[in-house]
Amino acid sequence: MKRSIASVCLSGDLRQKIEAVAEAGYDGIEIFENDFMLFGETPAAVRRMVEDAGVEIVAFQPFRDFECMPKAKMQKNFDRAERKFDLMQELGTTAMLICSNVSPQCIDDTDRAVEEFYELAERAKKRDITLGYEALAWGRNVSLYEQAWDVVKRVDHKNLGIILDSFHMYARDADLSTVAEIPGNRIVLVQVADAPRLKMDVLQWSRHFRCFPGQGDFPMQDFMSAIIKTGYNGYFSHEIFNDEFRSSPCRATAIDGMRSLLWLQEQVVMDEPDLMLDRKNSSFYQPPKADMQNFEFVEFAADDQMRDDLLGMLHKLGFHRTHKHRSKEVSLYRQGDVSLVINEESDSFAQHYSLVHGTSVCAIAYGTDDAEGMAERADYYGYHPFESDVESGELDIPAIKSITGELVYFVQKNTDGTRFYDVDFVADDQSEALVTPDDSLNFDHVSSGVAETEFLSVSLFYRSLLDLDVAQPQDLIDPYGIVVSRAATNQDKRIRLPFNMSRSWGASTERFREVHRGSGVQHIAMSCDDIRAFVRRVDPSIILPIPGNYYDDLEARYELDDDLLADLRQFNMLYDQNETGHFIHFYTRSINGLFFEVLQRHRYGNYGEANSQVRLAAQAQVRRSGQP
């Protein structure tokens, strides 16, 4: 599978884009006309840059508004094409993308289009240039790929083929069955772009919201499988118009784009296993399959200033120290099957993390049946390993750095039932819980607050590396703006990872990022079997106070038992229900922007989204009042 990216996807000048493309490992680059026009070097110099970088110019694009213009303008169009052919030969590329005409002057006459494309193909033949015709989703008369293919098929010239672009096809709800009618050798180039499902003007949708495969909602695997079945063996190239990409460092964007193509390739191999003929020697090599089973532990970096606040919160929630590390200043606090590691080791990643972020989550560990395979998978996707200091006889747990900076550990699940703390820790029998622990407690979900520029990268991280499903974005109403939220989950929902971003500086996510001094884990939720019994054991001073008006509204909306409603009101708990079940939960106050949630699910699979604005408003009220 040959991989390319269009220069329009990246920020910077053309030299910076070429360097980023080469560093990310692409085979080719599409040169966007404006990127060349605004660059200060000659075509020959650009050609040398590309050759020195070890990539090839896959295509020059776009050639606009060619076919079916008034007769008086057609000669100018042919002259313009000849000038572009001159430029392409200097650049050293042999393919040109022609997009369907969007001019109001374009005449709806397929016979004329066929004649004009035949003449242009004859001119291209003399230069050994191949033309690719692409249907723009907002094209004046040709907006469907079937229409573009009809023109190409009728022209019947070896120097004219079709370009298939996933965005333009899905934006028009394309039926992919016609793709099977297109011979692979008549496809000049395949462009891949994902996007969120939005109801808006298609041109604005295209210009601002395209994203890499794995970051949006299109069924990209179906598109790729349809293309592969044609016998096409050319380039798969990104063509992404996205405001965030244009404002982000070009190298990071290029690397994300490469990860998305690797992920897309993996999906094709899963759908079409016959393509994977010889694993590592095949261009369709598939990395080890992710099998993320559960949250194994969450690790905190604890600095002197807020360490006691965190430990006080944990004690009041029913946690107590059960183990100490054999060789490090690291303690383990447990309740039920929730393991929280407090790392106070000097000159460690945790200490350096706390110097920047304060007391906060510095690592999340996931249980898996193949930790080394996950490390190999991470390397395949370009997420580099983190090496930690390990004493003789201790577990060497594979780790990488996440998009938001904390570590991700892959912990091997042992068949004999032993856990990580059975090897690296010793039991600490001197510590007792302040309140009776709840043996039913489990991790439910771990939420992060991320920057707008990281939102798509985090989506791809969860999809590609951890093989999680990522839900469509939804808006949460904050008193000071909108928070956009997505959630990544594994199949059995034992791993749930919501992540949130906001464009408003005053909204909760950005307030957290200000306090935390960057992105990171903002919220840890734990489930139990009987939350009404659990909350009675909790010190009420740590629970987030909820406005009384909420309970009046709750009483009006639902037919709740009087005793339940009284408990909800007394203990500041929230309630939601849907067609399958109900959900009860409460939140703690924040420490350095981080807060906990305890919940009980009864045949309910959501997150209490209806209560999110209540929680956001309550947190804002606490912040305004200056309370801890």
> Which residue reads 């993308």 in tokens?
97
Secondary structure (H, E, C), 457-494? HHHHHHHHCCCCEECCCEEEEECCEEEEEEEEECCCCC
Are 54 and 18 in contact by the 8 Å Cβ rule? The answer is no
585 appears as a binding residue in the annotation: no
191 appears as a binding residue in the annotation: yes
165 appears as a binding residue in the annotation: yes
Cα-flanking dihedrals φ and ψ of residue 25, to 5°? 95, 15
The DSSP element (H or E) to which 511 belongs, if any, is helix 508-516
116 appears as a binding residue in the annotation: no
Alpha carbons 256 and 65: distance in angstroms, whole number? 32
Which residue type does 213 have? P
Alpha carbons 265 and 149: distance in angstroms, whole number? 25
**Per-residue tokens: 241:** 């118009």
Dihedral sign, Cα of residue 372, residue 374, residue 379, residue 385 = negative
Tally of helices (H runs) and strands (E runs) in the chain: 21, 25
523 appears as a binding residue in the annotation: yes
Helix, coil or strand: residue 498: strand
> Any idea what the Cα angle at residue 140 is, between residues 138 and 144, rounded to 5°?
60
239 appears as a binding residue in the annotation: yes
Q: What is the DSSP letter of 3?
A: E
Strands 582-587 and 474-478: unpaired
Are 188 and 98 in contact by the 8 Å Cβ rule? The answer is no
CA dihedral 32→202→454→497, nearest 10 degrees, is: -140
Which residue type does 168 have? H
Are 254 and 20 in contact by the 8 Å Cβ rule? The answer is yes
Where are the strands (E) in 276-424, listed by range? Answer: 292-301, 320-325, 330-335, 338-343, 360-368, 399-401, 407-412
Q: How many residues does the chain have?
A: 628
344 appears as a binding residue in the annotation: no
Q: Residue 431: beta bridge partners?
A: none
How many other C-beta atoms lie within 10 A of the C-beta of residue 440? 16
DSSP conformation letters of 206-220: HHHH-B-TTSSSS-H
Are 29 and 261 in contact by the 8 Å Cβ rule? The answer is no
Binding residues for a divalent metal cation: 134, 165, 191, 239
Binding residues: 134, 165, 191, 239, 445, 523, 597
Binding residues for Mg(2+): 445, 523, 597
